[in-house]
Amino acid sequence: MENNEKEVVSRNFIEQEIDKDLAEGVYDTVHTRFPPEPNGYLHIGHAKSILLNYGLAEKYHGKFNMRFDDTNPTKEKTEFVESIKEDIEWLGADWEDRLFFASDYFEQMYEAAVKLIKKGKAYVSDLNADEIREYRGTLTEPGKKDPYSDRSIEENLELFENMKNGSYKDGEKVLRARIDMTSPNINMRDPIIYRVAHMNHHNTGDAWCIYPMYDFAHPIEDAIEGITHSICTLEFEDHRPLYDWVVRELEYQRPPRQIEFAKLYLTNVVTGKRYIKKLVEDEIVDGWDDPRLVSIAALRRRGFTPESIRMFVELCGVSKSNSSVDYAMLEYCVREDLKLKKPRMMAVLDPIKLVIDNYPEGQVEMLGASNNMENPELGTHQVPFSRELYIEREDFMEEPPKKYFRLFPGNEVRLMHAYFVTCTDFEKDEDGNITVVHCTYDPATKAGSGFSERKVKGTIHWVPVKEAVKAEVRLYENLVDEEKGVYNKEDGSLNLNPNSLTVLKECYLEPAVSGAEAYDSFQFVRNGFFCVDYKDSKPEALVFNRIVSLKSSFKLPK
């Protein structure tokens, strides 16, 4: 290397296996894929698989395929296909011109099954699902021979063709691989590789009434596409012998290799499609992209960035052991990503009016404000200042406790970017609620003037009443009750947090946010990072989702 520097290379176990394969000439390139089933929206766990597969292809200057494993028409929809494509593009995984569907290969899969029948490696069975389960045996007892396994090759070919031609009802016949009913691995006990299903398919319509099983279809898809390393999660480890059996018996010249890694589990979140579907149907959330969920679409809507999710996945690492990651780490990553990128604006979420009695009526002056104190390169903007302002309700107290340094009768504070003001009076409504705070200001204390005769301990933010932009702001907490855990132990239902969403209808923002568009995000002083909601926000009625608060107790492990 230049300057005689030594490169420090850290390889996870998958990369070590790939290095070995390349060194030994097993493969001369790296070709990976991400193969989701289009039966729901992707979630944060899928992001790890997407970025891992894409990242490996990038690192080894190979190729990355996007492929929909659409072999089960019972749950698959075009809606899910489109959402998955959008999610993967947003994350930055580029499949270039390699977008495929398992259903593109149905004819080749059928021919592969015929090849197995001709080799004596597959047969048609009349056993129903319960009988197949009974014959399969248990973890401690071997399976029993299928009574239909002795059919001749000719008879099996005819029956399988009849299955294809629609001669049988759903479940009436299946095609099974002939492997070993006594295998200690239940997956190898003559698994079903084709079943009858008279259903319309989102991609092939009514062209087929038989569909391949995942364990049979997946290795064929990988082999057809020239995948070298089929990276999947640990639950497929016991299926690997079947994967290898399929590509071996079908005599592919350069068979792909399956390598398993641990899934990404987040604490106290809902990822199960069945649960999310019920939340959507029960209108507890407003769709698969509700910002309280951790689907990729929901995270995007809430205001998370692709960079923050990539950082999160990288911090989680690649392992062979299942473990859980604290949701706070995901929040840490988005905070780290946004803090130097986003402009800081003043926003009053629970407003009361502040009147500066000695400020000239009708006067408006423009005050300079930094867009980001930590990143001067983002520049500055102007904020109009006048006699009547909004401040946060919590920034005034009639009878303050000790060490309360904001406004109270007789106290002086700094208005951010503006002047020192002293509280002189306040007004209440008939219910005793504070409605207006009265102050006087000291013109000599203008921010940036160099005034140093006295100091104040409190600084509060504000927005001008006349020019303020009214908006709706949504504050989110965890969808589930963290103290009780995600699932109810008695009935398996979700322990929902009744305070997971707080909607504030009357919030006021400084005018610099006017014109904000979907997905634009800002740091609101003291309140956190916020993103314009793409679904409900309108130019004349902005809606902001809180992405994350400003502070967290989470610390990266050393």
Q: What whole-number distance in Å separates Cα of residue 220 and Cα of residue 193?
A: 12
Q: What whole-number distance in Å separates Cα of residue 323 and Cα of residue 546?
A: 28
Q: 461 in helix, strand or coil?
A: coil
Of the candidates 199, 236, 181, 289, the one whose C-alpha atom is nearest the C-alpha of residue 35 is 236
CB 344 within 8 A of CB 529: no
CB 146 within 8 A of CB 135: yes
Whether pLDDT at 555 is above 70: no
Tens digits of residue pLDDT in 90-125: 999 999 999 999 999 999 999 999 999 999 999 999
Q: 371 in helix, strand or coil?
A: coil
Helices 44-59/306-316 angle, 10° precision: 80
The pLDDT value given to residue 7: 44
Rg of the chain (C-alpha set): 31
Of the candidates 104, 130, 110, the one whose C-alpha atom is nearest the C-alpha of residue 216 is 110
Least confident of 69-73, 158-162, 216-220, 462-466: 69-73
551 C-beta neighbours (distance < 10 Å), count = 9
The pLDDT value given to residue 24: 96
Q: Which amino acid is at 512?
A: A
Tens digits of residue pLDDT in 389-410: 999 999 999 999 999 999 999 9
Higher pLDDT, 141 or 450: 141
Q: What's the order of all strands across the beta sheet hosting 63-68?
A: 31-34, 63-68, 99-101
Q: b/e string for 408-432 if b means 16 or more Cβ within 10 A?
A: bbebbbbbbbbbbbbbeebeeeeee
Q: What whole-number distance in Å separates Cα of residue 137 and Cα of residue 412?
A: 80
**Beta strand spans in 213-261 (E):** 229-233, 257-261
Parallel/antiparallel/unpaired status of strands 542-548 and 469-476 = parallel
H-helix or E-strand containing 223?
helix 214-225
At the topology level, CATH places domain 265-338 in Glutamyl-tRNA Synthetase; domain 2 (1.10.1160)
Chain centre to alpha carbon of residue 508 = 30
CB 330 within 8 A of CB 44: yes
Q: Domain residues of the chain, as ranges?
A: 11-261, 265-338, 344-548
pLDDT band, residue 471 (cuts 50/70/90) = very high
Q: What whole-number distance in Å separates Cα of residue 541 and Cα of residue 525?
A: 21
H-helix or E-strand containing 347?
strand 347-348
Whether pLDDT at 378 is above 60: yes
The pLDDT value given to residue 274: 86
Whether pLDDT at 359 is above 60: yes
The pLDDT value given to residue 3: 44
pTM: 0.90
Measured CA distances, 61 to 14, 58, 136, 229 (Å): 16, 5, 44, 14
Q: Which CATH class is domain 11-261?
A: alpha beta
Q: What whole-number distance in Å separates Cα of residue 84 and Cα of residue 43?
A: 10
Tens digits of residue pLDDT in 182-240: 999 999 999 999 999 999 999 999 999 999 999 999 999 999 999 999 999 999 999 99
How big is the CA angle at 63 (ends 58 and 68), to the nearest 5 degrees? 115
Q: What whole-number distance in Å separates Cα of residue 446 and Cα of residue 241?
A: 75
Whether pLDDT at 332 is above 50: yes
Q: What whole-number distance in Å separates Cα of residue 323 and Cα of residue 195?
A: 36
pLDDT band, residue 534 (cuts 50/70/90) = very high
pLDDT band, residue 554 (cuts 50/70/90) = low
Whether pLDDT at 1 is above 50: no
H-helix or E-strand containing 343?
none
The domain 344-548 is classified under which CATH number: 2.40.240.10, 3.40.50.2020, 3.40.605.10, 2.30.130.10? Answer: 2.40.240.10
CB 300 within 8 A of CB 43: no
Position of tokens 């396994």?
Answer: 149
Within 8 A by CB and 6+ apart from 79, the residues are none
Of the candidates 382, 439, 397, the one whose C-alpha atom is nearest the C-alpha of residue 415 is 439
Instruction: Give the rounded percent of residues in the chain with a pLDDT score beyond 70.
Output: 97
DSSP summary character for residue 266: E
Tens digits of residue pLDDT in 239-248: 999 999 999 9
Q: What is the mean pLDDT of the chain?
A: 94
